[in-house]
Structure 1
Amino acid sequence: MESLKRALAGSLHQPGDPGYSALATPWNLAVQTTPAAVVEAANAQDVVEAVRFAAANGLPVAVQATGHGIASDLAGALLVHTGRLDECTVDPAGWARTGAGTTWKAVLAAGAQHGLAGLSGSAPGVSVAGYTSGGGIGPMARTFGAASDRVRSLEVVTGDGQIRHVTAETEPELFWGLRGGKGSLGIITALEFDLLPLPVIYAGALFFGAESAADVVLAWSEWCPTLPPEATTSLALMQLPPLPGVPEQLGGKFTVAVRYVFTGSPDDGARWLAPIRAAGVPLIDAVQSMPSSLIGAVHSDPEDALPVQEASCLLASFPAEGAQTLLRAVGPESNSPQLLVEIRQFGGALSKEPDVASALCHRDAGFGLYSVGVAAPPALPGIAAHAAGLSRAMADWSFGGSLPNFSAGAGAAGFAGSYTQEVLARLAGLAGHYDPEALFRLGQVPAR
């Protein structure tokens, strides 16, 4: 460890050192991590040094920036923290270069100065690199596809200790696998990607009370198939606690939120949204024209770390019968322990393969079902059991599988479920080539 410390421009933190706990703690506080040490990388060469040291000493390697993808205890691992790799360069011509620690929030703010938007997720506080490596399916996915489809190039440190500049022309196989393969092929240190000339969107959320839940959920299931690709929407059944920052109309109550982003004109956006506005009397109607840089306000996902239990699955469809089943399982009379159960509509541009193929699978799923429960860790297994029951209840409309960015807590089985057998075998072959010592064997990696 002392030899590694001397080789770094950044810092090395071992158990008991100041800073170790803060850097090793993931966003999900229910996961207790105990890495052997944390490398706080100051540049890409620090990542190279960490990977080479791990290979020489038989240590597995993990990586985190914001910590949203960490789901194991990392016992004995060398954790590479990339938060200081926070480069953010936006070119007015319509592209950006970011470091591994840069968040979408920074990109959106920088792009707004030039009328440009990026394909961030619902929570812009996550890193661009981690989100994009899992495909990146966000609140404009039906219009513009996945974030990984917009990548121009990546810089990555592979398991053989090499730093590589990866494009579709220079290393086509690695370019394919890094876009959707999550952390299975190396540690991304920087990437370049296209932005969109989209300064304004018509977006926000409508919130309804428990008395309107059935009408709104059924209306949403009938409304989704009518929508054009300019619209991306999701439905959330929520039980938010009465905490500071939670609107009084929502705190401590069962509510239904319809999230909506429309990339065309505000008048057209309002016209398409009219059936939902008419489905009940909104407690809050926050759908309006807004700068695209404020897209995080649509979902208002929490940024502070929490102890959570997450689960997800994909649906082929969400008909009226599915809506009624969902209401029985997690509606206002269900006594559900989930903080939130959300259904996101897919389709549109997302269902089309990009010009340069990637490892992102299941593009033809109709919807994604996602649940999150928040509680002290002893109560989380009960929440997990309930989520499993919800998945079984919705089995008649199941698509099968999952998505990489929603499978962090599902281990190897969850990772495998994010891909077809053909893609999983191809990823495993690439991992065997670029990571011969299986350094990245923790978390979301293909078995080999």
Structure 2
Amino acid sequence: MTTPEDVRSRLADVLTRARDRSRALTDCVDDDDLVTQHSPLMSPLVWDLAHIGNQEELWLVRDVGGREPVRRDIDELYDAFAHPRSTRPALPLLNPTEARNYVAQVRDKAWDVLDRSPLRGRRLEDEGFAFAMIAQHEQQHDETMLATHQLRRGPAVLAAPAAPRTAAIPRGEVVVPGGEFEMGTSTDPWALDNERPAHRVSLPAFAIDAAPVTNAQYVEFIADGGYRRRELWSERGWAHRVDAELDAPQFWVDDGTGSWWRRAFGTMEPLRDHQPVVHVCWFEADAYARWAGRRLPTEAEWERAARWDPVSGRSRRFPWGDAEPTPEHANLGQRHLEPAEVGAYPAGASPLGVHQLVGDVWEWTSSDFLPYPGFSAFPYREYSEVFHGGDYKVLRGGSFGTDAVACRGTFRNWDHPIRRQIFAGFRCARDLERDV
């Protein structure tokens, strides 16, 4: 049985892990780099750092702890809805030293709040939800800061071991039988509001790729004129392809001899054939699927493939079961600065043999970001409710830059279909003529 002290210890671990990562992503560059906006799509790194501290102050120090504000005067500066990313460099932001001091001061108070919280009795504190929410929020911004590092120019400042290779490449597709399953969750104590509530969904049988689409497969699409063939693209997709002059995934470079290279965190590397393709937008994924005579999976299909256990008939937390991810299960947590080759994590495959549904690359689905039946915003509308019904497509599964605390079989991510700076790839699916 899990005790409050067990929960407290786990919360301390995930909060510490998030803060260690935030420091690593900001301490590796100088102050000039921290205040630079490397892309209008992203904030200066120093904004993300102080925003992390401000959210922690709002929810843990002030709300859960009932303490006096540390810096009420900066709340508006770090309100993500008050200022679009493109305008944030012009704000009177905390400088790097002030930002570091601020987040350290807030964390000291948050530790005291964690020590004193009963971790029960109030929905915000039950099972440490507020603390877990803040750890997830920080890790989500850490992944955003990692994407900023990918966009920055200059010498490499991050390092990690190369992602695993494999000789056992999963090929082809897996048939997922039709039927009803439980989608979402009403029991995971750290699940966020858009993952709730659990509800029954019935699907016909379908086929889904055993692994994400690889670089080598995507090169075939390019070589066959995939970016020039209007019939492969939706109307909006083609207009965006022309306007943005898309001709390959972001950060790919053709060396003129028929070989492709990829710029990754300040280094140029030859394209690895068996890695999942990354940095493609939804429109590119959709066009590839049409070229392959297939389609993108729906969000419900993705979750059934990832969570449904054909033996027990129940939905599990992860493809491999209910246990937390380990380095044997998935490429998560920035252990590597790239996706692993497909087939590198056989221990993480689903019972039906679908590989790498968690980690490596976020996977685009065909679904719009909408609430589940019975959805209720908690603890604030701005986390997900305000995005429902907008121009957003759902992504699933997490990437090599996603921490395990912010990744599970029910976790939902979303973004505009034109976005490519995120660590996103995809796999394909298809209908079956009859249920299997």
- TM-score normalized by the length of structure 2: 0.29
Greater fraction strand: 1
